[in-house]
Amino acid sequence: MKQSLQLKLGQQLTMTPQLQQAIKLLQLSTLDLQLEIQQAIESNPLLELEEEFADDAAIPDARSGEGPMDNLEHTAAETSSGQEDWDQSIPDELPVDTQWDDLLPSSSSPPPTPNNDELEFDYAQQGTAETTLQEHLLWQLNLMHWSEIDRMIAVTIIDYTDENGRLTADLEEIYEVVADEGDIDFEEVVAVLHGLQQLEPTGVFAKDLQECLQLQLRQLPPDTPNRDTANLLLTRYISQFGAGDYKQIMRRARLSEDELKAAIGLIQTLDPNPGHTFFSASTEYAIPDVFVSKKHHRWVVELNPDIAPKLRINDTYASMIQRADNSDQNTYLRDNLQEARWFLKSLLSRNETLMKVATKIVEHQRGFLEEGEIAMRPLILSEIAAQVEMHESTISRATTNKYMHTPRGVFELKYFFSSHVRNDDGSEHSSTAIQAIIKRLVSEESPRKPLSDSKIVTLLTSEGITVARRTVAKYRDILHIPPSNERKRLV
């Protein structure tokens, strides 16, 4: 094959290290940003936290309504004053598609691994260990004088219990497991199960919701009012009870409406998930990135001043840099100074982008702030991107895991973006607003005669909103609203 040279013209998207860093910081959540800033401080000696007593400006600025982020430029100007000679030798841009590690030396060695004696006691974790349902059941089992065989069967049954107290396997399957340990009869497994069902919380070790409620009814005092009627509903009329067919129950069981209502009230006092009190999911706290408040009849957007520590460039190290010195120490300080300036500039860019996006969102959703979800307007990423002159992907990064504190609560920025439903006359309604209207209609309906999906469609049409019945059913499922037959109640 003959070799030849060819000239080809094309376009290719390249990213400088500064742009890569800016994009990385923009898409970080508040907690991740704080961690990133802490790592930057530990690795770069030119970056430092501003002391509370310092008079110098901090980076980044918290409030943007009054000349946002001017302190950053002021700090950079102070740092560069008197250092013009060495500043000219620092390039403003690095070559494209370059990594920091390819150009800069490691700023600091990794911290040594502390010994066990040096580890500080974590007081935040003290007392946070919570007892699980299985641990609580085993503790009660240790107080019972059972034989070794019965104890082994009980432990096996406890292992087949989920966090709500339900059995995750049939009794026959459990018997096959314990039968391998010795000569055990199936009746003995049943007897152990009945003994375990007397433990607290009441209703554990049930195979389904019906048995769970029946176990709780059986342990009520025999003279409890409406206990027998409630047990009758759960035993013989569970299907009609679940479907809300109260007329058929009253006719077949020969009950009055007051008797049926009292029995249902007793059942509603029972716990469908008795083991759930021992289950605790980790709590996640949302830290707002921006605050929205109404001042002088205007909605004002401000950055949260506590989302990131205040940074500045260390003047002492910066003053040690000399122009004509090419030593390793001087090069190390000069490179880290440039990296620190780029990091501060990326933080400034992140805050400015966040402020622009949040301000435009508030302008579009002013009705939501004043009237609630019912006044939410349809909004998509491309609308905000066009107004702030950025790409949709940038807007997506700026709204992901970012939260806004409003007088109506804390919401993720993506919450304010929703699809729309177009009417025949060309008008548009936000899906969030339609869901709010459906929630309002259901809350105002008669419990004896709840609204069907078709009736909700008719009511929405009367308000100028044209939607299909399947759309109403989809929104109802999103709102966790059961069908009309399950919402029927006796009053």
- pLDDT, tens only, 113-133: 444 444 444 444 443 446 788
CATH code, 445: 1.10.10.60
| Higher-pLDDT residue of 1, 10 | 10
Q: Taking the complete model, does pTM exceed 0.75, yes or no?
A: no
* Domain count across the chain: 3
Based on the fold, state whether residues 264 and 395 are members of the same structural domain. no
Q: Please check whether residue 184 is in contact with residue 153, taking contact to mean a CB–CB distance below 8 angstroms.
A: yes
Domain end, chosen from 388, 417, 446, is at 417
Q: Do 156 and 241 belong together in one domain?
A: yes
Tell me: do 29 and 68 sit in the same domain.
Answer: yes
What is the pLDDT averaged over residues 291-304? 91
Same domain, yes or no: 388 and 444:
no
- Provide the terminal-to-terminal Cα distance of the chain, rounded to the nearest Å: 90
Per-residue pLDDT tens over the stretch 16-63: 777 787 788 888 888 888 888 888 888 888 888 876 444 444 444 444
Which domain-ending residue is among 254, 278, 302? 278
Could you tell me if 41 and 49 are in contact, meaning their C-beta atoms sit under 8 angstroms apart?
Answer: yes
Question: Could you tell me if 322 and 358 lie in one domain?
Answer: yes
Alpha-carbon gap, residue 359 to 352, rounded angstroms: 11
The Cα 228–Cα 53 span in angstroms is 73
Could you tell me if 158 and 199 lie in one domain?
Answer: yes
230 and 152 in one domain? yes
**210 to each of 216, 217, 238, 413, how far by Cα in Å?**
10, 11, 8, 42
Q: Give a yes or no: residue 109 inside a domain.
A: no
Based on the domain organization, do 443 and 395 belong to the same domain?
no
- Domain interval for residue 52: 16-81+284-417
Does some domain include residue 331? Answer: yes
Domain-embedded: residue 103: no
As given in the structure block, the two tokens for residue 192 are 């152990």
| Residue 369 belongs to a domain | yes
pLDDT in tens, 153-174: 999 999 998 888 889 988 888 8
Average pLDDT score over the chain: 79
Q: Of the candidates 365, 394, 417, which is a domain's last residue?
A: 417
Neighbour count for residue 265 (Cβ, 10 Å):
13
Asked whether residue 301 is domain-assigned, the answer is yes
Residues 425, 412, single domain; the answer is: no
| Number of neighbouring beta carbons within 10 Å of residue 428 | 11
DSSP states along 189-232: HHHHHHHHTTSSSTT-SBSSHHHHHHHHHHTS-TT-TTHHHHHH
Same domain, 235 and 143: yes
- Note whether 393 and 456 are same-domain residues: no
